[in-house]
Amino acid sequence: THEPLFQETLRDAGLNKYLVEMANIRNQCSWVHAKEPELATEKSKDLVRIAVAKAALMNPLDQPEVGIVQKGLVIGGGVAGMTAALGLADQGFHTYLIEKGETLGGYALSLDHAWTHEPIAENVKAMVARVQAHEGIEVLTGAEVAETKGFVGNFNTIVKAGGLNGDARDTVLDHGAVIIATGAKAGIPDEYLYGKDPRVFNHVDLDPAMRDNPDMVKKAASAVFIQCVGSREEGRPYCSKVCCTHSIKKAIQFKEINPDMDVYVLYRDIRTYGRRESLYRQARDKGVIFIRYSPSEKPVVTAKENCLDIQIKERILGMDIHVEADFLVLASAIVAEGNEDLAQKFKLTLNDDKFFMEAHAKLRPVDFATDGVFLCGTAHYPKPVEECIAQAKAAASRAIRVLSRDSVTVDGVVSDVDSARCRGCGACEAACPFGAIETYVTDAGVTLARVQQALCKGCSACTVACPTGAAGVSHYNNEVLAMVEAALEEG
């Protein structure tokens, strides 16, 4: 934990910062062997001897500086993407905002109100107008990333734009940072008669349906919500986070429009977290009926001429309950949308559910392991609009830390390829998870590998893959063998 401090001290003394090696006898000896002081002392001697053996062979390393293109690229034109783009542009950084659809706004345009009664669609339309009028934001719709290369501060991305009109063209964008805000989508239910009976709605269809038919709720005698449709089960074990709040908010709205209406919420666990708990209490006070079901005994929906018959196994009473509903609303899962292609192009990590994974949930929550690339919105994980906005602002602030500098210093501990031993087989290129190594043909017609130092993380994957020993990581060469020999010395 203190190595950077000692490295800076060495640099202040006029020496190369990489000429320091630590023997961590506090963490590895005194703390873990507090009850065995004599053995801890002997182990400390071994660690010091090992560190000295390495230090004797260490060489100074260069840290080159590369200039920064002070422009940003935001991928995704939903609420998170527009918030991030405005965050960059308002600070004076020209921003490219690309959206694969025809219009900006995303899924939020289909929503009426937030649980706090704020008009979502109205606010999103105002944000779209602000983005389109901003001089610092260049919007490309019908656009997708075709190819990208480069590194932090110097990315070069080819975008296919205008594809919706059948006249797709390649646009080359130079930028210094990237924010991924591609969003997610509502899963399509394959149960409960969805798509087979017009009285069964997905939760994202409900607001548009109510706008198209204002008397839909007024004329209904009963309605049922089923939670956790396609989520929190095998194959999709996560909670979509927004469904409980949305369903309970709509249930309250139903009771306000039609107080005599029977409204049921069939749930596994209610997750109206934080201040949203007041929604749950309000729904109970208004007479919304909550019935818990087991994932092993899901509700059964049967279509009848005048209603939908919904059979529920009540867990407490241990008996079947039948509810007749005029319409049914399914709270389907929020699922990742096409993240694999973008992850491959930018060398990003996905979790098991195909959402983008941050570098560290607590220490770097909006960063990727790839420097200069940041994350926000539901591309990361399902979350409500206000959390998307907060995360987008965080991602923009992180990107501004890169764009506000004139240059970036590259780490000195990186891979290197000995051209005299390299045979150009490409094994290192295939092994590199960051795309930092590429093969090329010299003027003499010889195929060799070379390292893009700004992309390299010094992970040594190429060293392991190289059959000739040409690839290696600076700072970890012959010193390692010397450390092993020192560890095996007696006394």
Question: 127 with 73, same domain?
Answer: yes
Q: What is the pLDDT of residue 21?
A: 87
Is 279 found in the same domain as 194? yes
> Which three-class secondary structure state does DSSP give residue 463?
helix
User: Are 48 and 108 in a shared domain?
Assistant: no
**Does residue 491 surpass a pLDDT of 60?**
no
Same domain (yes/no): 91, 175: yes
Please check whether residue 247 lies inside any domain of the structure.
yes
Residues 101, 102, 108, CA angle at the centre, nearest 5°? 65
pLDDT of residue 404: 95
Residues 434-442 have a mean pLDDT of 90
Same domain, 231 and 290: yes
Spatial contact of 329 and 247, defined as CB atoms under 8 Å apart: yes
Q: pLDDT tens-digit profile of 114-131?
A: 888 888 889 999 999 999
Per DSSP bridges, beta strands 222-229 and 262-267 are: parallel
Which of 357, 384, 407 is the C-terminal boundary of a domain? 407
Q: How confident is the model at residue 408 (pLDDT cuts 50, 70, 90)?
A: confident
Q: What is the CATH number of the domain that holds 111?
A: 3.50.50.60
More confidently predicted of 225 and 59: 225
Residue 311 φ/ψ, nearest 5 degrees: -105, 125
The residue-averaged pLDDT of 370-399 equals 95
Q: Is residue 219 located within the same domain as residue 325?
A: yes
DSSP states along 356-404 = B--SBTTTBTTB-SSTTEEE-GGGTS---HHHHHHHHHHHHHHHHHHHT
Query: For residue 60, which of 22, 14, 103 has the smallest C-alpha distance?
Result: 14
Whether residues 198 and 325 fall in one domain? yes
- Would you say residue 475 has pLDDT above 90? no
- Number of domain units in the chain: 4
- 33 assigned to some structural domain: yes
Determine the pLDDT at residue 3. Answer: 82
| Percentage of residues in the chain having pLDDT higher than 70 | 97
* Residue pair 132/95 in contact by the 8 Å Cβ criterion: no
pLDDT at 479 over 80: no
Q: Is residue 483 part of a domain?
A: no
Q: What is the pLDDT of residue 324?
A: 93
> Which amino acid is it at 229?
V
Beta-sheet pairing, 177-180 with 71-75? parallel
pLDDT for 4: 84
Evaluate if residue 164 carries a pLDDT over 70.
no
The pLDDT of residue 58 is 84
- The predicted pLDDT at position 109 comes to 86
On the CB side of 121, CA atoms within 13 Å amount to: 9
User: Is 484 inside any structural domain?
Assistant: no
pLDDT band for 410, please (50, 70, 90 cuts): confident
Whether residues 268 and 135 fall in one domain? no
Averaged pLDDT, 182-199: 92
pLDDT tens for 259-306 read 999 999 999 999 999 999 999 999 999 999 999 999 889 999 999 989
**What integer pLDDT is reported at residue 168 of this predicted model?**
66
Q: Which of 61, 87, 113 is the last residue of a domain?
A: 61
Q: Are residues 304 and 226 in the same domain?
A: yes
DSSP, collapsed to helix, strand or coil, labels residue 203 as helix
Domain around 220: 186-333
pLDDT band of residue 430 (cuts 50, 70, 90) is very high
Average pLDDT over the chain reads 90
pLDDT tens sequence across 40-62:
999 999 999 888 988 888 888 88
The pLDDT of residue 166: 53
How is residue 300 written in tokens?
A: 């059964």
Q: What is the arithmetic mean of pLDDT over 462-485?
A: 82
Q: Does residue 346 sit in the same domain as residue 398?
A: yes
